[in-house]
Amino acid sequence: MKTALGNLDFADATTLSEALTLLASEPDRVPLAGCTDVYVGLNFGHIEKKRFVNIWSLSELRGISENADFLRIGALTTYTEMIESPIIAKFLPMMRDCARLIGGCQVQNRGTVGGNIANGSPAGDTLPILAVAEAMIIAQSLSGTRKIPFLSFYAGYRKTVLLPGELIVAIEIPKPPGAQWFRKVGTRAANAISKVVIAGLRGETVRLAFGSVGPTVIRARRTEAVLSSGGTIAQARDALAHDIHPIDDLRSTSRYRMQVAENLLSAFWDSTTPNQS
Amino acid sequence: MLFTLNGKITEVSAPSMKRLLDVLREDCGLTGTKEGCGEGECGACTVLVDGLPINSCLVPFGQVQNADVKTIEGLIGHTDLQKAFVSECGAQCGICTPGMILMAAPLVERAQAEGRIPALAEVQETLAGNLCRCTGYVAIYRAIQTACGAKSEQASVISGENG
Ligand SMILES: Cc1cc2nc3c(=O)[nH]c(=O)nc-3n(C[C@@H](O)[C@@H](O)[C@H](O)COP(=O)(O)OP(=O)(O)OC[C@H]3O[C@@H](n4cnc5c(N)ncnc54)[C@H](O)[C@@H]3O)c2cc1C
Ligand code: FES
Ligand code: FES
């Protein structure tokens, strides 16, 4: 059932401190960023919450910058902004590749990276990238700021460790060492919910993360260990069966997802192997 | 609440959580913006906010305070594109058409200025967020390429190499 939207409470915040002050006294308010998840939920009656706070105009949460070691991406940065950013193109091209495949232009102009993270869907396409890049989530509330390693940000299916009153303000990403690779397999390029997503990093060591194959994003540690220590791709494919355990659901079977994940692993390895003919 | 609608500063009193789509259709009487899916998939509800196309079914009215909103009614000077949609049968039921035109207009403008005809892949990428259940798309692609100066019979076969 469609929610009667007119009766819902909308509070407008124009600065970060205004938003944090409001959330401190009314932590049940749901932040509204680009609304590409929230309004899909509301239009389908999946959201019970009645009170919201608009954070879309907080300029403190926007912008992409870099220093010698890190990139910093504001939580409200849209997919379009990441696609157009020279900093992303230079240091995090897998994020640009990912952003280009999210929805159409209309969704890319509104959907934000902070929303993708906070929404916490296991099919969130940016999550495998943040997992291999070992990003830090910068979260802020009225009581202060903390840095949360992305790899411990999810406590379970769609459950984050954010505290009441806390907003994600930015993501800090150490400049990734090595070649980057991102692929997603879905039913249709633009609007598909992914069946399997992979992000890989190949430098001195190998890092791999998969989305849509478990309750949250998964780092494939055993597979990484095989490849980092000179093992063959066949051994790595065997190891992958111990790292991920996809389920059957409406969209695909577990066997299909496993096969796709293995094939993506091989494709990652082939396309990051230098000096191929 | 104040915002700019098709170039005019406009005051509308409507609940902030109401979808921009419904405010445009019900409170402003602009029914050119259509609802297809209500979930961001089809692009029938596309409008421009501060120059960028967005799905108005996913935007709360409160988020366009002081913003510049443009709907299909406010799109002027794209007669080539509109004529081409007619001559190439780019519209059947018409539900997707306003969104298609709003998405295609900047591409056509750019292509005309550069004196080129956009390749099929470029047209498809521009319209990736817009669904049509009537035309099978070919007529839409042909209309857009025709508006950029392609001869009707060449259009829609113009693919990567020539574009
Ligand atoms: C047609 C369509 C196609 C899509 N395709 C894809 C796809 O291919 N891959 C994919 O991964 N996603 C896809 N999505 C979903 C994607 O658009 C969202 O996940 C988006 O990134 C969410 O950002 P938002 O700003 O719109 O979040 P919102 O909808 O505003 O918020 C989402 C959740 O995050 C919370 N939140 C937002 N920002 C913050 C913050 N700074 N701090 C704390 N909490 C916050 C909100 O309260 C809410 O609970 C698609 C959506 C649509 C409509
Ligand atoms: S009605 Fe908004 S995208 Fe379909
Ligand atoms: S003409 Fe009917 S949906 Fe496109």
Q: Which residues numbered 62-121 in B keep a CB inside 8 Å of some CB on A?
A: 62-63, 65, 103
The per-residue pLDDT for A246 is 87
Q: Is residue B160 exposed (0-12), middle (13-18) or buried (19+ Cβ within 10 Å)? A: exposed
Report the atom number in ligand 1 closest to the C-alpha of A102: 8
Name the H helices within B19-119.
20-22, 79-87, 97-114
What is the mean predicted confidence (pLDDT) over A44-73?
Answer: 95
Q: Is A51 on the interface with B (CB under 8 A)?
A: no
| Domain residue extents for chain B | 2-74, 79-159
C-alpha B23/C-alpha A226 separation (Å) is 57
CATH class of B2-74: alpha beta
- Long-range CB contacts for residues A42-49, cutoff 8 Å, separation at least 24: A42/A3, A42/A5, A42/A8, A43/A2, A43/A3, A43/B19, A43/B38, A43/B39, A43/B57, A43/B58, A44/A2, A44/B39, A45/A1, A45/A2, A45/A3, A47/A3
What CATH architecture does domain A60-174 belong to? 2-Layer Sandwich (3.30)
What are the tens digits of pLDDT across the range B63-108? 999 999 999 999 988 789 999 999 999 999 999 999 999 999 999 9
Fold of the domain spanning A9-54? 3.30.43
Q: Is the pLDDT of residue A17 over 90?
A: yes
* B54/A110 touch (CB, cutoff 8 Å), yes or no: yes
Kindly provide the ipTM of the predicted complex, given to two decimals.
0.92
B136 CA distance to ligand 3 middle (Å): 9
Q: Ligand 3 pocket, B56 CB below 6 A?
A: no
Break chain A into its structural domains and give their ranges: 9-54, 60-174, 179-272
Enter the CATH code of domain B79-159.
Answer: 1.10.150.120
Region A4-15 average pLDDT: 93
Pick from A87, A163, A95: which is nearest to A124 by CA?
A95
Indicate the CATH number of A179-272 among 3.30.390.50, 3.40.30.10, 3.40.50.1220, 3.60.10.10: 3.30.390.50
pLDDT for position B162: 37
Minimal Cα–Cα distance from B63 to chain A, Å?
7
- Report the pLDDT averaged over residues B150-155: 72
Distance of CA A132 to the CA centre of its chain: 11
Q: Is the CB–ligand 3 distance for residue B132 below 6 Å?
A: yes
For B42-51, the pLDDT digits (tens) are: 999 999 999 9
Structure tokens at A37: 């998840």
- Its pTM stands at 0.95
Question: In angstroms, what separates the C-alpha of B140 from chain A's closest C-alpha?
Answer: 17
pLDDT given at position A240: 97
Query: From the alpha carbon of B140, which atom of ligand 3 is closest?
Result: 4
Segment A104-159, tens digit of pLDDT: 999 999 999 999 999 999 889 999 999 999 999 999 999 999 999 999 999 999 99
Same fold, A9-54 and A60-174: no
How far apart (Å, rounded) are the C-alpha atoms in residues A157 and A124?
12
